[in-house]
Amino acid sequence: MGHRMRSTEFFTQIREGSRCSAEAIVPLALELVHPQSVVDVGCGIGTWLAVFKEHGVEDILGIDGDYVDSAMLEIPAERFLAADLSKGFGVNRRFDLAVCLEVAEQLPPECAKTLVDSVTNLAPIVLFSAAIPFQGGTHHVNEQWPDYWAKRFQERNYVVIDCLRKRIWSNPNLDWWYAQNILLFARRDHLERSAALKREWELTDVSQLAVVHPRQHLHRIRKAPSTSWRPSRADEERSASLEDVLREIRPFTMVQSESLVELALQVRSVLVEEIPGNLVECGVWRGGSAFLMAKCLQQAGVTNRKVWLFDSFEGLPAPQEIDGPAALAYASDPANPGYFDNCRASLEDVQGTAERLGLSAYTECVKGWFEETLPANRERVGAIAILRIDADWYSSVRACLTHLYDRVVPGGFVVLDDYYTYDGCALAVHEFLGQRSLSHRIEAVMYQSKHGAYCQTALFRKGRRTWKHTKRKLLKRGLL
């Protein structure tokens, strides 16, 4: 049914970015349109419709080619219609809102009018975006400025409303092409039914529809074969600064360097994405990881967050059978330099180090066992952006999750230092997630030794975004 515009691999690559973008844009569209029914032309695997459904829109239909793998659909199969988008297609009903995002550029120019006719036949309001010239992408054969599409819609008596881009322009969580290209089109007579839409139409400057997002500009420069891309001075300064910090805090932590670098990047991500909340470490030993987070706050000039350090400051409790053979072997060898009972540092030592590092204002230590100190202090801690759990054993990890998980904000991080080391830690994590019916994706931090690559720490983010996707996007934009 028509040419194969998009493959399974294509949908896999864009899936997470589409989800994050939809989660940012759909609520804004709902504020203006209040649809009871939505149709998505070029829906792919239905990610945008799935988000509309999560926001209460039950009446949905997705339309795309028969190249879409039904096994990948995020909407019920009966809500998907296979059709050749390059030809006119009919649906014997109308919807409140039609969606057509980053699809039009994949159809030949001679199909542009057919597509617009088909979409406008479906709904009085259309959420639309299409790639601009030189945007680049898979099977882009008709990249056009928004004015081109505005004229096609005008022929159908639809007016352009540019009200969403200004609200999402600086949002780092969505793909830049939506921030650059997304517009609303409404049938002119329909404006009389919506004062909000009419007001936004009156504020739209049709002479400024063609814009280029800074992230696209950087994307094109980096891809240009004639350009030798080098890190900016800011990139180099950030890298050198992190190396200095790692050297400074290294005597106070046993955490591998790769995990420390990831932790620093996660703190920077929290600041860039403006994820609210404090940073918390449960199980601090001599404080190195917590001091790294505090240094990141200090260097960024942040004064409204702090790092909380929870520890007994008396060493680890003894492991139990549930913690697994590695934990029991660790505890049974007092001659080992890493013997578990050596994992102790006094409260005074840690506070003294914080003072010498100039971090007293950024840190607060709480002494005691987790089952007592965490519930007693969680209101004082407030919202949590990063919860780092370095507690080794089942009972301790479970206590941290039980008492602090609900304080972690959407998009926040839960870092699990011992997930790959001790059975009890992993068991506590999966029991907790299972009992709460939580589907967070566990991600690994890898390290390379002379014997090969190994999983080190684990983490998950609260919500649908993954660290891997976020880090890749922010690094590409030079924001980390």
Residue type, 218: L
Q: Would you report the helix, strand and coil content of the chain in percent, each value rounded to 5?
A: 45, 15, 35
* Residue 397 shares a structural domain with residue 424: yes
β-partners of residue 159 are 186
The kind and range of the H/E element at 435 are helix 423-435
CATH number, domain of 285, equals 3.40.50.150
β-partners of residue 307 are 279, 363
Q: How confident is the model at residue 237, as a pLDDT? A: 53
* Residue 63 shares a structural domain with residue 170: yes
Q: What is the residue range of 304's domain?
A: 233-476
Tally of structural domains, the chain: 2
Q: Are 66 and 46 in contact (CB under 8 A)?
A: no
* Residue 35 shares a structural domain with residue 109: yes
β-partners of residue 363 are 307
Q: How confident is the model at residue 228, as a pLDDT? A: 40
For residue 380, count CB atoms less than 10 angstroms from its CB and return exposed for 0-12, middle for 13-18, buried for 19 or more: exposed
In a domain, 228, yes or no: no
User: Which of 222, 254, 288 is the C-terminal boundary of a domain?
Assistant: 222
Going through 354-399 in order, the beta strands assigned E by DSSP cover: 363-367, 384-389
Q: How confident is the model at residue 260, as a pLDDT? A: 92
Number of helical (H) and strand (E) elements in the chain, helices listed first: 17, 14
Q: What is the pLDDT of residues 19-33, one digit of tens each?
A: 999 999 999 999 999
Q: What are phi and psi of 335, to 5 degrees?
A: -75, -15
In a domain, 227, yes or no: no
* Residue 261 shares a structural domain with residue 199: no
The kind and range of the H/E element at 116 are helix 112-120
Can you read off the two tokens belonging to residue 292?
Answer: 């790294």
Dmax (CA) of the chain: 83
* Residue 383 shares a structural domain with residue 472: yes
* Residue 369 shares a structural domain with residue 404: yes
CA distances from 170 to 112, 165, 206, 216, 259 (A): 30, 9, 21, 13, 29
CA distances from 471 to 124, 258, 272, 300 (A): 39, 14, 11, 18
Q: Are 461 and 438 in contact (CB under 8 A)?
A: no
Closest to 174 (Cα-Cα) out of 51, 30, 31, 9? 51
Taking 50 as the pLDDT cut, the residues of the chain under it are 1-4, 225-232, 235-236
* Residue 207 shares a structural domain with residue 317: no
Q: How confident is the model at residue 2, as a pLDDT? A: 41
Can you read off the two tokens belonging to residue 195?
Answer: 């004062």
* Residue 113 shares a structural domain with residue 37: yes
In a domain, 2, yes or no: no
Can you read off the two tokens belonging to residue 154?
Answer: 């005008």
* Residue 146 shares a structural domain with residue 278: no
Q: Of all residues in the chain, what percent carry a pLDDT higher than 70?
A: 90
Q: How confident is the model at residue 1, as a pLDDT? A: 36
**What's the half-sphere exposure (Cβ side, CA atoms, 13 Å) at 430?**
8
In a domain, 20, yes or no: yes
Can you read off the two tokens belonging to residue 397?
Answer: 């990890």
Q: What is the pLDDT of residues 120-164, one digit of tens each?
A: 999 999 999 999 998 887 778 899 999 999 999 999 999 999 999
DSSP 319: P
User: Which of 161, 195, 222 is the C-terminal boundary of a domain?
Assistant: 222
Rounded to the nearest angstrom, the gap between the alpha carbon of residue 136 and the centroid of all alpha carbons in its chain is 23
Can you read off the two tokens belonging to residue 213?
Answer: 């997002």
Q: What are phi and psi of 310, to 5 degrees?
A: -105, 130
User: Which of 190, 222, 254 is the C-terminal boundary of a domain?
Assistant: 222
* Residue 460 shares a structural domain with residue 370: yes
Q: What is the mean pLDDT of the chain?
A: 89
In a domain, 185, yes or no: yes
* Residue 315 shares a structural domain with residue 188: no
Strands 97-101 and 125-129: parallel
Closest to 269 (Cα-Cα) out of 304, 194, 261, 106? 261
In a domain, 51, yes or no: yes
β-partners of residue 446 are 455
Tell me, yes or no, if the pTM score tops 0.95: no
Q: How confident is the model at residue 256, as a pLDDT? A: 85
* Residue 155 shares a structural domain with residue 280: no
